[in-house]
Chains A and B, each alone.
Chain A
């Protein structure tokens, strides 16, 4: 029995109304499917069924794209940037006003701890709308090129790890630049997107500017492959990203793909150690490691490896795993059975290949999908757990001796989304950042996001950027080309 036991401090579920079933948000209203089925979305922490959701058919996709096209030609493309900005500001403010509702719903549907949905996901989502609202009437001065114009109808497919935040990353720049949207949330986490549809209604957004259709892979394929979609934006696995790139090859469509990662978090012997340990923990255990830019490979300088390992383990003993709605929970539930199986399989492969596995003592709930925070030491570059994206709370620890070796090991992966550097030597930070082939390089911090900062990958982590001016560029065409 600990001396200082934190009593349960659950956030109330009463703030959010979940309907028993949801239709598709097309042309400003919730409509029934034409020929599509339904599926259930559950809370991964308890396996409780939260709601029944519609699986959009190809006809539904047609209707949604048609609504978006009409809204584009008749309303949104003709509206002044200042007026588009007003709608975005309105949406941002409503997100802030209803923040608690969104946070609770996100934690219920996704399994992430309420402190993360409350302090990161929802405020950052609102920040993305505020940021892009400001750009809407200034696109001519954003340095995007002469006469920036929208593509038209954008098809967007987003993942389950940050459902609302990824929605904001996709919808805010699309609307700011004058495009209309058909968005498909992930099948395991559709609820905040459907609540966002209500926000669009509340904000009096013209019908058809945002359409939200739920479903699984086939719905996403139908959307991406639809011939009246002008641009595709996708965040998710590298496998699906490649399939999308093949689908749209030879068409007029452009795409931004934000895919997987296997980031190296590199700790030098002159690092601020206590903060580095925090950064390692935040890098891989934030959001149960369901983060494409997670620092899943710790590269630590050999001379301090033992010390860092000891400090890391001591820190992990204080992580609180459990009820996502408890305000003191640090690590929540794994999002789905399928994901849990994948994490379990790769961890077993790590053990089989000879790495040393360690987890802190912690009780896991009996129902739902759970995985202990796990650290593998003695990992080699050739191990599967050093090569493949696990997308779970599993850290692989490798060592290096020189800065050159650190760079070589960090870059030795098909991915290139992010990296972290921990050192008090400024010149080394700059040199490393220059050498690392990763879209984002954090120095003495990790997993920091801001709407002003472009985010995206090298190599198999995808292409295109989201956020900042670079993010706007993906949603406009410039010059004389039509």
Chain B
């Protein structure tokens, strides 16, 4: 028995592929028919974007924009209500010495911490609650458990769900299973936006990253996200570049815009600005908005705040001059 949503996603997918049945061979030949990614060329392009020089007024703009795109994240086994609530307080007033500082886009926590986050953030703060779900980070659980995990977070008030794909299924060529799971999770999300974590560190090749991005978009993901942050390498610039090319080409193909979220390993303002340059020059300025681009990060926020203070005062202060409610332990 298929639900209406399922039918929508399936029929749209059949339309795009131009097939009458969405079989695994159909998905496979479509994904493997996408243009390949040359590793050397892709990495060279990313490196050249890293040489852009962003100064003065553009740097001010970029820092504020980056702050507004952060999913401020804590995803540790040792998370407590106190720590999560501290993180949310930080999101509400990132820099108490300068109330013009923008707030991050969201806080990102495990599902059981959603009520705490919801309560601390209150309504109307503009800061969303994002929850990781679907047996994050490995995704090794039955579909029923994954769906229950998602439903639990949504009913606790999560605005956004960060799911992981089944990398085992993807790598073994079982694209149909990956597709179905995303469709199912999306259905359970209801109004919550769905970010699909590809865990690119386990997919390894850029060809796989491109294929997984297309598969996630085909299944109705609202965002494609690089990593859980638990696997190295996490959000590299070339991987993000490939995903930005994918969402750009996807909008051209279908008219649907999908967001991108690099997560894990982006710690400095310089890194963040390089990512914004890449968004600007690869996907285009339509993506330069927290609705379409996010950083999954924790320590990045304080580095941006330090830079922001420096732009304002003309002098570097130091790590002790920005509040740290949730020092990362690793």
A328: Cβ under 8 A from any B Cβ:
yes
- Give the most central of A4, A115, A444: most B CB within 10 Å: A4
Task: Tell me, in angstroms, the Cα distance from A328 to B53 when the chains sit together.
Answer: 6
- How far apart are A332's CB and chain B's nearest CB, in angstroms? 15
Contacts known (A3-B285, A271-B35); A445 close to B280, Cβ less than 8 A: no
Which of A5-13, A74-82, A167-175, A209-217 sits within the interface? A5-13
Contact with A along B58-97 (1 / 0, CB 8 A): 1101100100000000000000000000000000000000
Contact present for B36 and A272 (CB under 8 Å): yes
Contact present for B51 and A115 (CB under 8 Å): yes
B245: Cβ under 8 A from any A Cβ:
yes
Contact of B38 among A7, A115, A272, A328 (CB under 8 A): A272
Contact present for A424 and B288 (CB under 8 Å): no
Contacts known (A3-B280, A424-B36); A274 close to B54, Cβ less than 8 A: no
Contacts known (A6-B53, A328-B53, A444-B38); A274 close to B288, Cβ less than 8 A: no
- How far apart are B107's CB and chain A's nearest CB, in angstroms? 26
Residues of A within 8 A of B59 (CB): 7
Contacts known (A4-B285, A278-B41); A327 close to B53, Cβ less than 8 A: yes
Residues of B within 8 A of A318 (CB): 281
- How far apart are A95's CB and chain B's nearest CB, in angstroms? 20
Q: B206 — nearest CB in chain A belongs to which residue?
A: A272
Residues of B within 8 A of A271 (CB): 35-36
Contact present for A6 and B45 (CB under 8 Å): no
Q: A326 — nearest CB in chain B belongs to which residue?
A: B53
- How far apart are A270's CB and chain B's nearest CB, in angstroms? 8
- Give the most central of B38, B51, B54, B62: most A CB within 10 Å: B38
A273: Cβ under 8 A from any B Cβ:
yes
Task: Tell me, in angstroms, the Cα distance from A115 to B50 when the chains sit together.
Answer: 12
Contact present for B285 and A2 (CB under 8 Å): yes
B37: Cβ under 8 A from any A Cβ:
yes
Task: Tell me, in angstroms, the Cα distance from A270 to B59 when the chains sit together.
Answer: 40
Contact of A5 among B40, B53, B58, B245 (CB under 8 A): B58
Q: B43 — nearest CB in chain A belongs to which residue?
A: A275
Contact of B58 among A6, A275, A424, A444 (CB under 8 A): A6
Residues of A within 8 A of B57 (CB): 5, 7
Task: Tell me, in angstroms, the Cα distance from A2 to B288 when the chains sit together.
Answer: 11
Contacts known (A4-B61, A4-B285, A445-B40); A275 close to B45, Cβ less than 8 A: yes
Residues of A within 8 A of B56 (CB): 7
Number of interface residues of B (CB under 8 A): 28
Q: Which of A259-316 contact B (CB under 8 A)?
A: 270-275, 278-279
Contacts known (A3-B280, A4-B280, A444-B38); A328 close to B52, Cβ less than 8 A: yes
Contact present for A278 and B45 (CB under 8 Å): yes
Task: Tell me, in angstroms, the Cα distance from A312 to B288 when the chains sit together.
Answer: 22
- How far apart are B237's CB and chain A's nearest CB, in angstroms? 14
Q: A114 — nearest CB in chain B belongs to which residue?
A: B53
Contact of B52 among A6, A272, A274, A445 (CB under 8 A): A6
B42: Cβ under 8 A from any A Cβ:
yes
- How far apart are A161's CB and chain B's nearest CB, in angstroms? 20
- How far apart are A304's CB and chain B's nearest CB, in angstroms? 9
Task: Tell me, in angstroms, the Cα distance from A270 to B55 when the chains sit together.
Answer: 40
Q: Which of B176-224 contact A (CB under 8 A)?
A: none
**What are 24 A-B pairs at a CB distance below 8 A?**
A3-B280, A4-B65, A4-B277, A4-B288, A5-B61, A6-B52, A6-B54, A7-B54, A7-B56, A7-B58, A7-B59, A9-B55, A115-B51, A272-B35, A272-B36, A272-B41, A274-B42, A274-B245, A275-B38, A275-B45, A327-B53, A424-B36, A444-B41, A445-B41
8 more A-B residue pairs beyond the given contacts A5-B57, A274-B35, with a C-beta to C-beta distance below 8 A: A2-B285, A4-B277, A4-B280, A7-B56, A272-B42, A279-B41, A424-B36, A445-B41
